[in-house]
Amino acid sequence: MASSNSALPKTMHAWTYTLASPDLPAALTLNTSAPLPPNPPPKGHYLVQVLSSSINPIDYKIPELPLIPRLIITKPASPGCDFCGRIAAVPASSSSTEKTLEVGTPVFGRLDSPTQFGTCAAYTMAPFNGVVALPDGVAPDDAASAATTGLTAFQQIVPRVKPGARVFINGGSGGVGCWGIQIAKAVGAKEVVVACSKGNFGLCESLGADRCVDYRSEDVVEAVKKLAKEDGVFDLVVDNVGVPSQLYYQSHQFLKEGVEFVQVGGGFGLGDIGALMSKMAWPRWFGGGRRKFLFLGVENSNEDFERIGGWLKEGKCKAVIEEKVDAHEEGGPKKAFEMLKTGRVKGKIVVNGWSE
> Mean pLDDT score of the chain, rounded to an integer?
91
166-170 and 131-133 beta bridge pairing: unpaired
The reported pTM is: 0.93
Per residue in 75-99, pLDDT (tens digit) is: 999 999 999 999 999 998 766 566 7
How far apart are alpha carbons 15 and 13 in whole angstroms?
7
Residues pairing with 85 in the sheet = 50, 107
Compute the Cα dihedral for 335, 337, 340, 346 and give only its sign. Answer: positive
State residue 2's pLDDT score: 45
Per residue in 101-129, pLDDT (tens digit) is: 999 999 999 999 999 999 999 999 999 99
Q: Classify 144 as helix, strand or coil.
A: helix
**Range with the lowest mean pLDDT among 7-21, 135-149, 256-270, 277-291?**
277-291
Work out the average pLDDT over 149-165: 98
State residue 106's pLDDT score: 98
- pLDDT band of residue 145 (cuts 50, 70, 90) is very high
- pLDDT band of residue 287 (cuts 50, 70, 90) is very low
State residue 33's pLDDT score: 96
Contact present, 327 and 120 (Cβ < 8 Å): yes
State residue 109's pLDDT score: 98
CA-based radius of gyration for the chain: 21
Per residue in 209-230, pLDDT (tens digit) is: 999 999 999 999 999 999 999 9
Q: Higher pLDDT residue, 96 or 259?
A: 259
**Quick check: 266 pLDDT over 80?**
no
Domains annotated for the chain, with CATH where assigned, are 11-146+319-352 (3.90.180.10), 150-295 (3.40.50.720)
How far apart are alpha carbons 102 and 37 in whole angstroms?
18
State residue 65's pLDDT score: 87
